[in-house]
Amino acid sequence: MDLYSGYINKLIEELSGLPGIGAKSAGRLALHLINMPKDRVQRLAKTIIDAKENVRYCNTCYTLTDNETCPICANSKRDHSVIMVVENPRDLAAYEKTGKYEGIYHVLHGAISPMIGIGPNDIKLKELMQRLEGDVQEVIIATNSSLEGETTAMYISKLIKPTGIKVTRIASGVPVGGDLEYIDEITLLRALEGRVEL
């Protein structure tokens, strides 16, 4: 039995399709949105549409930005000779919260996972290798401590080692199977400071 009319049910269904939003949360959000003033709902809808139409990949590191180059890559005070490789923009944000990393990033947008058909050509590895043609002295591999993350780290290490560029891996302060976006800043900082050469 449906508790609500078609429009409310459709709104709940769309909201429950978002990551981390279950049926109960979707129901609460839907009712909240319906009770909001119309101008706020329109502003929210416009903001979502504007973000979808204007956000793109940074032409250097491939994080999300609404400019050609993200603020981190555009910052001349950052150390452009050190690149930290992460799986997604959320991992980049997690490291930025520590306030201690002064290099730049490269976002892979995934990890190698043969089990689900994701190979090296399906993530931004070719783009990383092109960046290494510049003045890069160290690549820090900060992929997740999962099987896929470890596989990706080893693959990247094997690609980069012949170039003579120093390759390091974040230390094991990050729990195996943990996602970087859910780890506190202190643990992330310890993992960064305790990285080891591969």
85-144, pLDDT tens digit by residue? 999 999 999 999 989 999 999 999 999 998 899 999 999 999 999 999 989 999 999 998
Q: What is the number of residues in the chain?
A: 198
For residue 187, what pLDDT is reported? 73
CATH of 70-197, one of 1.10.10.10, 1.25.10.10, 3.40.1360.10, 3.20.20.150: 3.40.1360.10
> Quick one: tokens of 174?
């990050």
The residue whose two tokens read 């078609």 is 6
145-168, pLDDT tens digit by residue? 888 988 999 999 999 999 999 999
DSSP label at 123?
Answer: T
Average of per-residue pLDDT across 64-90: 96
Share of the chain above pLDDT 90, in %: 74
> Quick one: tokens of 156?
């990247």
Looking at the chain, which runs of residues are DSSP E strands? 56-57, 64-65, 79-86, 103-107, 138-141, 166-169, 196-197
Domain ranges of the chain: 6-54, 70-197
Domain 6-54 has CATH 3.40.50.720: no
Euclidean distance between the first and final Cα of the chain, in Å?
Answer: 58
For residue 172, what pLDDT is reported? 64
